[in-house]
Amino acid sequence: MYPLPFVYKKAQSIAEAVAWAGDDSRFLAGGQSLLPMLNLQLASVGLLIDVNAIAELAAIGEDRAALSVGALTRHDTLARHATVRRASPLLAEAASLVGNPRVRRRGTLGGSVAQADPAAELVTALLALDAEIDVVSPDGRQRYTVPSLMLGPLLTVLRSQELVVGVRVPHREPAEGQAFVEVARREGDFALVAVAARLWIRSGRVARAAIAVGGAAEMPIRLADLEAWLKGQKAGAPLWDAAGERVSDEVRAVGDPFAGAAYRTHLSRVLVCRALAQAERARGAS
Amino acid sequence: MTETEFRLNGRVVRGQMADYATLAAYLRDNLGHFEVKAGCGEGVCGACTVLLDGEPLASCLLLARQAEGCTVETVAAAADGLRQALAEAFVRWEAAQCGYCTPGMLLTAYAYVKGGGSFDSPSIRRALAGNLCRCTGYQHIIDAIAEVVSTWPAEG
């Protein structure tokens, strides 16, 4: 419970936070991943820059194209917010499955993105949603996608001066159904495997699909081949079953002490099938 | 070290706090509040739960300095009717075995009942998902909370 000593400073603005940042600093948002690492001395830091007081980081808004969610939005807020539930039900559902209630009250969307855990529900959701991630540094503003941001497990391209400030998520379209499903060992655990799916169906056929799998491999992956294969096919349970059978072609599952690679591959197959069926039912639902 | 002030169980606490001290460490080591249990240090077990401005949070994942200006309550806060009812129900149902998880369980239950939580077992289990009992006496804990929810007047 005792981190190695560091200096703590509370920033009042984005400009102040990034100006203070240096090679030996980290930003502190919800602290639900960073503080465990500091407590267990798996990480150390010279300067901790608290961004919790920066009100503009917690804003949720929307324009014609997209929903914009501030980096400091807590998981609990994301899960319950009426605008988020309407514009991006998949994102709200994913947020409701993160950690335990205390973690959801404190943990943030931006923190989850910057932490880049391979099994993080929110990163998997953002990958399926083709979300854009806005980052501010002393050099200005930059926009990333999940694939351009994430390099590997707990590893991103972000330098210590770069602060995630918000995420843009395209609105769910009328023909689009979304689903987020996972299997975890216990309520509140990281997912063994999580699947985020978006499905557009027109005249009974799949017009487009977006499927992301988290927890199975070293980082969340998009099943691009499966998405292409689904296109134009007749929607329905037989197709979702057939889609599940093809998942192992793309998911290179890795095992850990909690679940072996074969079991994670199996879960990926089952959950993709389940997510597609659920996304089909969710079309038009608000 | 920086001068920091917050309210703890109804009293003002003002002191020099190390930048890197967690709230859990400060409450135990500097103020002797050992009812805040030191558990996993990862926010998983719930033993160190405190109410920060009324919300249950892991005090091991909060720096003492982040409590500046806030209201912190431990299980030793002055008992109102609901706290008393929960404590009595825990005794009646024998919901404490070794007792280490009990302060966190009581505070989580307090916020759950106060927040209008329902008395059905799945909802209570979900609310308690972040509080581990290694004696695994969950059923009696859930029964105790369900009894209080079903008899406690809902807040307007």
For residue range A143-159, what is the model confidence (pLDDT) as tens digits? 999 999 999 999 999 99
Q: Please name every residue paired with A206 in a beta bridge, in sequence order, or none if there are none.
A: A201
Q: pLDDT band at B154, cuts 50/70/90?
A: low
Domains and CATH numbers, chain B: 2-73 (3.10.20.30), 81-151 (1.10.150.120)
Written as one letter, the residue type at B36 is V
Report strand pairing: B71-73 vs B2-8. parallel
On whether any CB of chain B is under 8 Å from the CB of A188, the answer is yes
Residue with tokens 């991006």: A88
* Nearest residue in chain B measured CA to CA from A40: B41
On whether any CB of chain B is under 8 Å from the CB of A83, the answer is no
8 Å CB contact of A35 and B44: no
8 Å CB contact of A40 and B108: no
DSSP chain A: --PPP-EEEE-SSHHHHHHH--TTEEEESS-TTHHHHHHTTS---SEEEE-TT-GGGG-EEE-SSEEEEETT-BHHHHHH-HHHHHH-HHHHHHHHTSS-HHHHHH-BHHHHHHHT-TT-HHHHHHHHTT-EEEEEETTEEEEEEHHHHEEETTEES--TT-EEEEEEEEPPPTTEEEEEEEEESSTTSPEEEEEEEEEEEETTEEEEEEEEEESSSSS-EE-HHHHHHHTTSBPSHHHHHHHHHHHHHH-----BTTB-HHHHHHHHHHHHHHHHHHHHHHTT--
Q: Which of A36, A49, A48 is nearest to A6 (CA)?
A: A48
For residue range A72-93, what is the model confidence (pLDDT) as tens digits? 999 999 999 999 999 999 999 9
8 Å CB contact of A48 and B18: no
pLDDT score, position B1: 86
Nearest to A100 among B24, B38, B130 (CB): B130
For residue range A41-79, what is the model confidence (pLDDT) as tens digits? 999 999 999 999 999 999 999 999 999 999 999 999 999
pTM of the model: 0.95
pLDDT score, position A187: 83
For residue range B97-137, what is the model confidence (pLDDT) as tens digits? 999 999 999 999 999 999 999 999 999 999 999 999 999 88
pLDDT score, position B136: 87
8 Å CB contact of B20 and A3: yes
Q: Does domain A57-170 fall into CATH 3.40.50.300?
A: no
8 Å CB contact of B46 and A32: no
Query: pLDDT > 90: what percent of chain B?
Result: 92
Which residues of B touch chain A, with CB atoms under 8 Å apart? Answer: 2, 18-20, 22, 24-25, 38, 41-44, 46, 49, 55-58, 60-63, 65-66, 108, 125-127, 129-130
pLDDT score, position B155: 53
Q: Torsions phi, psi of B45, nearest 5?
A: -85, -30
Is pLDDT at B153 greater than 90 in this prediction? no
Is pLDDT at B156 greater than 90 in this prediction? no
Is pLDDT at A1 greater than 80 in this prediction? no
Q: pLDDT band at B152, cuts 50/70/90?
A: confident
Specify the CATH number for A176-282; select among 3.30.390.50, 3.30.470.30, 3.30.70.1380, 3.40.109.10: 3.30.390.50
pLDDT score, position A188: 82
Q: Which of A45, A49, A48, A47 is nearest to A11 (CA)?
A: A49
pLDDT score, position A283: 85
Which chain B positions have a beta carbon within 8 Å of A3's beta carbon?
Answer: 20, 22
Chain A interface test: which of B42, B60, B68, B138 (most A C-beta within 10 Å)? B42
Report the 3 state secondary structure along chain B.
Answer: CEEEEEEECCEEEEEEECCCCEHHHHHHHHCCCCCCCCCCCCCCCCCCEEEECCEEEEHHHCEHHHHCCCEEECCCCCCCHHHHHHHHHHHHCCCCCCCCCHHHHHHHHHHHHHCCCCCCHHHHHHHCCCCCCCCCCHHHHHHHHHHHHHHCCCCC
pLDDT score, position A286: 43
Distance from the A97 Cα atom to the nearest Cα atom in chain B, whole angstroms: 11
Handedness of CA A156, A162, A163, A164 (dihedral sign): negative
8 Å CB contact of B130 and A50: no
Query: pLDDT > 70: what percent of chain B?
Result: 98
Chain B interface test: which of A2, A47, A100, A103 (most B C-beta within 10 Å)? A100
8 Å CB contact of B61 and A99: no
Q: Torsions phi, psi of A50, nearest 5?
A: -75, 120
Distance CA A7, CA B77 (A): 31
Q: pLDDT band at A284, cuts 50/70/90?
A: low
8 Å CB contact of B61 and A100: no
Among A239-243, A256-260, B72-76, the minimum mean pLDDT is found in A256-260
Is the distance from CB of B31 to CB of B59 less than 8 angstroms?
no
In Å, how far are B50, B91, B136 from A109, measured between CA atoms?
Answer: 23, 40, 33
Structure tokens at B74: 């431990």
For residue range A207-232, what is the model confidence (pLDDT) as tens digits? 999 999 999 999 999 999 999 999 99
8 Å CB contact of A3 and B46: no
For residue range A80-137, what is the model confidence (pLDDT) as tens digits? 999 999 999 999 999 999 999 999 999 999 999 999 999 999 999 999 999 999 999 9
Is pLDDT at B47 greater than 50 in this prediction? yes
